[in-house]
Chain A
Amino acid sequence: MNLASLSLYHQALLVAAALVLFTSFMMLATARIRPLIFAFAWQGALLAIVTALVALVSNHPHLYVSALLTLGLKALLIPWMLHRLSARLNILHEVEPIMHPSMMLVAGAMLVIFSYYVATPIVHLSTLVTRNTIAVSMAVILLGMLLMVSRSKAVAQVVGFMSIENGLFFAAVVSTYGMPMIVELGIAFDVLVAMVLFGVFFFQIRASIDSLDVDRMNRLSEKNE
């Protein structure tokens, strides 16, 4: 389809989606904790915008609710908690060297292509205006996993985890205009609880190995035995 034929909102929607993808790459590339968190917050915010736009173009009022939910949770609350935690653990300014960053980005690009390749058959089915973004949402999920695999700092891993959640939410919104409300709420609740637990764990890990480097947690393995 050609962009010109689309309404302005649609185009805005696509732009926002693209930006969401971009934030994922930003996270992949940033070595410091603080910009990482900010990138994550941005992603949340963009997600909220996307949701709102979808609600607008496909007049699904209940999506506004989930847009607000997302904004509150993913763009404000969780980033704030993360920021606060890392401030208290004073790791905000820690730098985690990324091994071969360029390779990372290439791998990320590959993942985007792969998810596009995987998602094509679905896209062909869909009649929704947002169908092309399904591939993007899947890419966001995979990039989140890549982030978790590539980082050894607990906080970074949590961010990756949360961006996977973002991807999921993104997918839900663009592919099916959101899940049933009760499920949405359940998911939101789970995410919140998860975040709280992560907070608890940061301190426990810190207390046990006085660092947040998960690579140093390898007591439980089959090798040493």
Chain B
Amino acid sequence: MALSIAYLAVIAALASAVIALGSNFRRNDVTRTLPFLLLGASGVAAVAAGGWALLDNLKLTQQLALGLPWMHWHLRLDALSGFFFAVVGILLVAVSFYGPAYVREFESSKQPLSVLGLFTGLFATGMLLVLLADDAFAFMVAWELMSVSSYFLVTYQHQNAPNRRAGFLYLLMAHVGALAILLGFGVLASFGGNFTFDAMRAATLTPLWASIAFALAFFGFGMKAGLVPVHAWLPEAHPVAPSHISALMSGVMLKVAVYGFIRVTYDLVGDIQWQWGLAVLIVGTASALLGVLYTLMQSDLKRLLAYSSVENIGIIFMGLGLSMIFLGTHHPVLGVIGLIAALYHVLNHAVFKGLLFLGAGAVLYRTHERDLEHLGGLIHRMPVTAALFLVGCISISALPPFNGFVSEWLTFQAALQTPKLESGVLRAILPIAAALLALTGALAAAAFVKVYGVAFLGKARDRRAAHAREVPAGMLIGMGMLALLCLVLGILPTTVIDVIDAVPQLLIGQAPPSLTAHGWLWLTPVSADIASYSAPLVLAAIVMTFFIGRLLLRRNANPIRYSAPWDCGFGPLNSRMQYTAAAFAQPIRRVFGGVWKVQEQVEVAHASAPATLVSGVRHQLHISDWSWIKLYEPIGSLVLTGARHIGRLHSGHIRTYLMYTFGTLLLLLWIVT
């Protein structure tokens, strides 16, 4: 039953693709809205199926007569896939509200909407199928379907060169990652006998081969998830897609990669070694830290959000790494806490990153401007969007009582259980990771103060920002839904975790010990006197103090007077005098210098009359990613050099070619005799 609901979700997504293709022929509101309706339906079905699977901890399997004659597609819906199903569903629903109004923007553009709709539908189909797949072949098919369709979405506005470049890079990375994953499956299958996941589960690998399989999966899925240093495609590809697609990609597609990683590592490979966990933890920490540092330096709103996805994926992998370390050292209980933290952050990041990308889309929709330096003062022009975006910012900055804080708190708690470990080295390393996580959180807060302060507060820096209007209701509903979720997930963690419990029960065979032992009010990871957090009370207290304060103070107060801000006596301030995004990040740029490749140049123009008088200053700043210079460009040039050398073979002289034939013949004859 639940499985058939899941099918319903897939079919609805597929149908939306087909209908969108049909909409090529007659354009009107129906053909624009219908695909999104179906997408929404698919989302609802996905949430339903996923929720069901989680609540009842189902384990449903089925075979479809697709694929190879002797290897049909195996499908399976269990708690893990159910959880991710729900995550995907939530965002699909939000997008289905948001989309119809948003895509109006593209009706004027040269690309037909039908293409957008078609690949959006296929994209959703692909993601849902990946979650359902229960054998390597179906998995790879669905996986690549997801990659390819999202690639076409990235290149949707292919008239501008960055999109083309990003698209190529993205597809290449996706393909390389997929090949690694395929190889990983191959290793598992060669032990398991065939390519069904059941066989792989049953297989027992030698530690070496297990590590190889794990490494391949880690590389492949990490590449898709955007871990440092193979993240470079992500900030290129995500920003250039239409915003609701960016929301899906950053919010959900990366999570599908996380799903793949969890599925392979926890479920298929089996007995985890703590060294893997350490590797994951280190890579995750690096991604989190570098991700947020790069986030801080961006001035393109969507690019900034994309980099912050790298950061959050890093946090998720930190949680997974901790959990793997604990599992590897036989502390299943603690392993569960880490896993729960990671999963919870998966959910949270999907929600708030979706919200933020949709918000960025709303800004783009009205101002057609992605560069922070040209925005400003939107809180006056688009109050609702501003409020919703603020919720997103608070959540992603991990501030209580919103959802981002809960998952980070859980991660901290997991990290603080190190005294239970035998190895002193691990005991020393884990808290450092936790401290770096703290640094990440603080920098993230700084980054989003910058985003919000520059884009929404202050004065408009640009005519288009000054004349922005609030976006249509549909888009607001889409965002509002997610904003509400941010709050709910923030104040009812215990309830949510009660639902997520099914996943660790499935993977580790162990329910979280006492996370929710003290009722919905108290979140207690290990035990009550080790740590506890009561989000509802925190919220209550904040609200209470807030209103009491206002009541006490607003009594018989005179009306507020408005006047010009302090201008040091130099006459009125204008919007050019505001702090810019680059200026905001400048101290951090100096503190962490060397993390980026910074090219900064200041040109001072002197006035003619007195040479000392400065007539204008021009400041240019270009921040580039080391991973380009150190990793990608060398590989690329390597291939090109190889190609050039190979090219020499083709001299164009027929006698040379004859010589090849002759030589080959003689060589072979000599070999065989």
Write the residues of chain A forming the contact surface with B, with a CB cutoff of 8 angstroms: 114, 117-118, 121, 142, 145-146, 148-150, 152, 157, 214-215, 217-225
Residue on B nearest A145 in the bound complex, by CB? B662
B652 touches A219 (CB 8 A): yes
**Alpha-carbon separation in the docked complex, A223 to B662 (Å):** 22
Cβ 8 A contact of A145, one of B653, B658, B673:
B658
18 contacts between A and B (CB under 8 A): A114-B670, A117-B673, A145-B658, A145-B662, A145-B665, A148-B655, A148-B658, A149-B662, A157-B654, A214-B653, A214-B655, A215-B653, A218-B651, A220-B652, A222-B648, A223-B647, A223-B651, A223-B652
A149 touches B653 (CB 8 A): no
- Residues on A with beta carbons closer than 8 Å to the beta carbon of B648: 222-223
- Residues on B with beta carbons closer than 8 Å to the beta carbon of A117: 673
- Residues on A with beta carbons closer than 8 Å to the beta carbon of B649: 222
Most chain B Cβ neighbours within 10 Å, of A114, A146, A149, A152: A149
B659 touches A149 (CB 8 A): yes
Q: With A117-B673, A118-B669, A118-B673 as given contacts, are A146 and B662 in contact (CB-CB < 8 Å)? A: yes
**Alpha-carbon separation in the docked complex, A222 to B661 (Å):** 18
B651 touches A149 (CB 8 A): no
**Alpha-carbon separation in the docked complex, A219 to B653 (Å):** 9
**Alpha-carbon separation in the docked complex, A225 to B670 (Å):** 36
- Residues on B with beta carbons closer than 8 Å to the beta carbon of A150: 655
Is B555 part of the binding interface, using a Cβ–Cβ cutoff of 8 Å?
Answer: no
Q: With A114-B666, A117-B673, A121-B673 as given contacts, are A222 and B655 in contact (CB-CB < 8 Å)? A: no
- Residues on B with beta carbons closer than 8 Å to the beta carbon of A218: 651-653
A222 touches B647 (CB 8 A): yes
**Alpha-carbon separation in the docked complex, A89 to B428 (Å):** 89
Residue on A nearest B658 in the bound complex, by CB? A149
**Alpha-carbon separation in the docked complex, A146 to B654 (Å):** 13
- Residues on B with beta carbons closer than 8 Å to the beta carbon of A220: 652
| Count, A-B residue pairs, CB within 8 A | 51
Besides the contacts A121-B673, A145-B662, A149-B662, what 6 more A-B pairs have beta carbons closer than 8 Å? A114-B669, A148-B658, A149-B659, A157-B654, A222-B650, A223-B652
A-contact 0/1 string along B568-596, CB 8 Å cutoff? 00000000000000000000000000000
**Alpha-carbon separation in the docked complex, A123 to B20 (Å):** 73
In order of increasing CB-CB distance, the 10 nearest A-B pairs are A221-B652, A218-B652, A222-B650, A222-B647, A149-B658, A221-B650, A145-B662, A118-B669, A214-B654, A149-B659
Write the residues of chain B forming the contact surface with A, with a CB cutoff of 8 angstroms: 646-655, 658-659, 661-662, 665-666, 669-670, 673
Report the minimum CB–CB distance from B666 to chain A (whole Å).
7
**Alpha-carbon separation in the docked complex, A145 to B665 (Å):** 11
A223 touches B658 (CB 8 A): no
**Alpha-carbon separation in the docked complex, A118 to B671 (Å):** 10
Residue on B nearest A150 in the bound complex, by CB? B655
- Residues on B with beta carbons closer than 8 Å to the beta carbon of A148: 655, 658
A217 touches B651 (CB 8 A): no
**Alpha-carbon separation in the docked complex, A142 to B655 (Å):** 15
- Residues on A with beta carbons closer than 8 Å to the beta carbon of B670: 114
- Residues on A with beta carbons closer than 8 Å to the beta carbon of B659: 149
- Residues on B with beta carbons closer than 8 Å to the beta carbon of A223: 647-648, 650-652
- Residues on B with beta carbons closer than 8 Å to the beta carbon of A221: 650-653
Report the minimum CB–CB distance from B529 to chain A (whole Å).
74
Most chain A Cβ neighbours within 10 Å, of B652, B661, B662: B652
Most chain A Cβ neighbours within 10 Å, of B646, B654, B673: B654
Residue on B nearest A114 in the bound complex, by CB? B666
Residue on B nearest A221 in the bound complex, by CB? B652
Report the minimum CB–CB distance from A114 to chain B (whole Å).
7
**Alpha-carbon separation in the docked complex, A220 to B647 (Å):** 12
**Alpha-carbon separation in the docked complex, A157 to B659 (Å):** 13
- Residues on B with beta carbons closer than 8 Å to the beta carbon of A214: 653-655
**Alpha-carbon separation in the docked complex, A223 to B650 (Å):** 7
**Alpha-carbon separation in the docked complex, A168 to B264 (Å):** 59
**Alpha-carbon separation in the docked complex, A73 to B320 (Å):** 80
**Alpha-carbon separation in the docked complex, A220 to B653 (Å):** 9
Report the minimum CB–CB distance from B637 to chain A (whole Å).
18
**Alpha-carbon separation in the docked complex, A114 to B647 (Å):** 32
Most chain B Cβ neighbours within 10 Å, of A148, A219, A222: A222
- Residues on B with beta carbons closer than 8 Å to the beta carbon of A146: 662
**Alpha-carbon separation in the docked complex, A224 to B665 (Å):** 29
**Alpha-carbon separation in the docked complex, A128 to B651 (Å):** 45
- Residues on A with beta carbons closer than 8 Å to the beta carbon of B650: 221-223
- Residues on A with beta carbons closer than 8 Å to the beta carbon of B655: 148-150, 152, 214-215
**Alpha-carbon separation in the docked complex, A117 to B658 (Å):** 23
- Residues on A with beta carbons closer than 8 Å to the beta carbon of B662: 145-146, 149
**Alpha-carbon separation in the docked complex, A45 to B665 (Å):** 28
Report the minimum CB–CB distance from A80 to chain B (whole Å).
26
**Alpha-carbon separation in the docked complex, A114 to B651 (Å):** 28
Most chain A Cβ neighbours within 10 Å, of B655, B659, B670: B655
- Residues on B with beta carbons closer than 8 Å to the beta carbon of A152: 655
Report the minimum CB–CB distance from B660 to chain A (whole Å).
10
Report the minimum CB–CB distance from A138 to chain B (whole Å).
9
Report the minimum CB–CB distance from B655 to chain A (whole Å).
6
**Alpha-carbon separation in the docked complex, A157 to B653 (Å):** 13
- Residues on A with beta carbons closer than 8 Å to the beta carbon of B673: 117-118, 121
Residue on B nearest A216 in the bound complex, by CB? B653
**Alpha-carbon separation in the docked complex, A121 to B665 (Å):** 18
**Alpha-carbon separation in the docked complex, A218 to B652 (Å):** 4
- Residues on A with beta carbons closer than 8 Å to the beta carbon of B652: 217-224
Most chain B Cβ neighbours within 10 Å, of A148, A152, A157, A219: A148
- Residues on A with beta carbons closer than 8 Å to the beta carbon of B646: 222
Report the minimum CB–CB distance from B648 to chain A (whole Å).
7
Report the minimum CB–CB distance from A147 to chain B (whole Å).
10
Report the minimum CB–CB distance from B599 to chain A (whole Å).
34
**Alpha-carbon separation in the docked complex, A221 to B646 (Å):** 12
Residue on A nearest B659 in the bound complex, by CB? A149
- Residues on A with beta carbons closer than 8 Å to the beta carbon of B665: 145
Residue on B nearest A214 in the bound complex, by CB? B654
Report the minimum CB–CB distance from B643 to chain A (whole Å).
9
**Alpha-carbon separation in the docked complex, A6 to B254 (Å):** 85
Residue on A nearest B669 in the bound complex, by CB? A118
A217 touches B658 (CB 8 A): no
Residue on A nearest B663 in the bound complex, by CB? A149
Residue on A nearest B666 in the bound complex, by CB? A114
Residue on A nearest B647 in the bound complex, by CB? A222
- Residues on A with beta carbons closer than 8 Å to the beta carbon of B658: 145, 148-149
- Residues on B with beta carbons closer than 8 Å to the beta carbon of A219: 652
B654 touches A217 (CB 8 A): yes
